[in-house]
Amino acid sequence: MAQFDLPLDQLREYRPQIAEPADFDAFWAETLAETRAHDLDVVFEPVATGLTGVHTWDVTFAGFGGHPVKGWFTAPADAVGPLPLVVQYQGYNSGRSLPHTWGLWPLAGCAHFIMDTRGQGGGGNVGDTPDPVGSGPSHAGFMTRGIEEPGTYYYRRVFADAVRAVEAARAHPLADPARTVVLGGSQGGGIALAAGGLVPDLSGVAVDVPFLCHFERSVVLTDSRPYGEISAYLSVHRGKEERVLRTLSYVDGVTFAARGRAPALFSVGLMDTVCPPSTVFAAYNAYTGDKSIEVYPFNGHEGGGVFQQAAQLRWVADLFGQPEQMPRPAGGTP
C-alpha cells in the first residue's frame, strides 16, 4: 500500500471540526459516577508463571455495571516499590493473553497492568472477560453493538472499565499512583486517549496508531475493518447515519484528546489503511498537553513495532528520570 492520505505537511496542520456533543462531559461524569456506585472489589491473586525475574498477579476488579473485569499485574521479582505504573490496553479483539507474555515493562523497572477487554479475545490474544450486556441489531464485531444510543454503546462500557483499571492497578502496594502512564496501540490507543481525557492525574499517555478517532472521516475513507463494520451496518440500516454518528461522537478520541493534559507520545504509519493518518493527526493536533509524535512513512498499521517500543522506553525513562532503569538502546527511531 502506498501513501494515500494527505501529505505529511498537511497532516501536521490537520484540525477538523469535530461534532462534540454539548453534554459530552456530563455524559462521562454520569457514566463514571454510575460505575463507581459499585465497589471496586479488586482482588490480586499470585500466580506461578515459571518466570523467576517477574512476579505476576491474576487481577479481578469491578468495571462498568459492577461487571467483573480481568487483568494481569506484573512487577520485577525483587521490587520493593513503589514503582512507576504502566497500564496497558489491548488492540481489537485481543484479550489479556497468558501472563508470561508481559515482561517488557517489569524488565524496565516498572509495575505493569494489562486490562482484558470485555467480550474480546476471540481473534487475537485470548481473553477472559465476558460482556454481559445485550445489544440490538449489530454487524459482526464490536463496533456496532448498541450503536444507536450513546447510553447503550459498547465502548461506553469499555472506557468506563479503562478508568477503573487505572484505579485497580493503583491499589496494588507495589504501584506508585503518582507515577502512572497509560498506553496502547490501535484500539488500545483509542482507549488510552479516553483514559487520558477521563483520569485527571496521569503522568503520561502513549498512543500508537490509534483507532476510534475522527469517525466522520474514518468510516468513509477506509473500508478496512473495524471501521468497515460501521459502514456495513449503515449500508443495511439506511437513513440512520445521523443517529449512529451522534453515538460515535461520545467516544471520539479527538474529543478526548482535547481534554488530555498529561505528556503524550503518539505514533502514526503513513501507509495505514486501518487507522488512516489524517484521523491519527486529528487526535494528535487536538491534544492539549505536551506531546510528540513518531512518524513511520513506509509502515501501515504495524506502525513502529519494536522501534516504537524502544521510543516508549526512552520516553518513560525521561518522564520519570530513571535512565538507569531504562537504558537508551542504540540506533533510535526514524
Residue 138 is predicted with a pLDDT of: 82
Residue 199 is predicted with a pLDDT of: 98
Residue 324 is predicted with a pLDDT of: 46
Residue 334 is predicted with a pLDDT of: 34
Summarised one tens digit per residue, pLDDT across range 169-219 is 999 999 999 999 999 999 999 999 999 999 999 999 999 999 999 999 999
296 close to 270: Cβ distance less than 8 angstroms:
yes
Mean pLDDT calculated for residue range 263-276: 98
Q: Is 33 exposed, middle or buried (0-12, 13-18, 19+ CB in 10 A)?
A: exposed
Residue 332 is predicted with a pLDDT of: 36
Say whether pLDDT at 299 is over 50: yes
Say whether pLDDT at 328 is over 70: no
pLDDT top residue among 331 and 43: 43
Say whether pLDDT at 333 is over 50: no
Summarised one tens digit per residue, pLDDT across range 127-175 is 999 999 988 888 889 999 999 999 999 999 999 999 999 999 999 999 9
Mean pLDDT calculated for residue range 27-36: 98
95 close to 72: Cβ distance less than 8 angstroms:
no
Q: Give me the residue spans of the domains in the chain.
A: 24-320
Say whether pLDDT at 221 is over 50: yes
For 332, other C-beta atoms within 10 Å of its C-beta total 10
The DSSP bridge pattern shows strands 68-76 and 111-115 to be antiparallel
pLDDT grade for 122, boundaries at 50, 70 and 90: confident
3-state secondary structure of 151: helix
What percent of the chain lies above the pLDDT cut of 70? 96
pTM of the predicted structure, to 2 decimals: 0.95
So which residues are the catalytic ones?
Answer: 186, 272, 301
Rounded distance between C-alpha atoms, residue 205 and residue 215, angstroms: 21
Q: Which of 182, 181, 188 is nearest to 208 (CA)?
A: 188
Residue 322 is predicted with a pLDDT of: 67
Chain-centroid distance, C-alpha 152: 20
User: How confident is the prediction for the chain on average, in pLDDT?
Assistant: 94
Phi and psi angles of residue 184, each rounded to the nearest 5 degrees, phi first: 175, 165
pLDDT grade for 80, boundaries at 50, 70 and 90: confident
Phi and psi angles of residue 214, each rounded to the nearest 5 degrees, phi first: 50, 60
Rounded distance between C-alpha atoms, residue 245 and residue 249, angstroms: 6
In words, the CATH class of domain 24-320 is alpha beta
